[in-house]
Amino acid sequence: IRFFPNSLGSPRWEIELGYREIKQGLQDSRLTLRSKKSDMVRQELWGVLLAYNIVRYMIKMAAMLKGMWPNQLSFRESTAWVMKLLWTLEGASPSRIPELVKDVASIAQMVKLPPRRERAFPRIVKERPQKYATARRKNAAKLN
């Protein structure tokens, strides 16, 4: 399958943002995983991916209920909210769990990011300076 480079820009950017959210938001910028054995590293990676998908799903639900885009909500604050929800669910009675999960719409206002300001400098292609000085060409008509 061949892909055109222009069509890969946006999906690749979304993947890069996902990696950043996992590394900075879920792992608190730790460089390594804690496990020593390969099976446990694999299990830890699956756990991180599962947690990431749960948080992303909750963000999507909250954004849809409030009529916002998911990228308008803070991933880090949403992660903290989901962790708080999980701690609450642990001690909650089973009849109260649907009520707590439906409360997801209330977090949308709490974790909403401020609007991004416009670029100070527009995107342009800047001219690269010459590596070596070039000799000026003399006009042939002036040589005589």
Q: Tens-digit pLDDT profile for the chain (144 aa)?
A: 555 666 666 677 777 777 778 877 777 766 667 788 889 989 988 988 888 888 888 888 888 888 888 888 888 888 888 888 888 888 888 888 778 777 776 777 788 888 877 767 777 888 888 777 777 766 666 655
CA distance 139 to 100: 83
The answer to whether the predicted template modeling score (pTM) of the entire model surpasses 0.85 is no
CA distance 9 to 18: 14
CA distance 54 to 78: 10
Q: Enumerate residues 6+ apart whose C-beta is below 8 A from 111.
A: 62, 73, 74, 77, 78, 81
Specify the amino acid at residue 21. E
Asked whether 84 and 41 are in contact (CB, 8 A), the reply is no
49, HSE (Cβ side, Cα atoms, 13 Å): 7
Handedness of CA 93, 99, 104, 106 (dihedral sign): negative
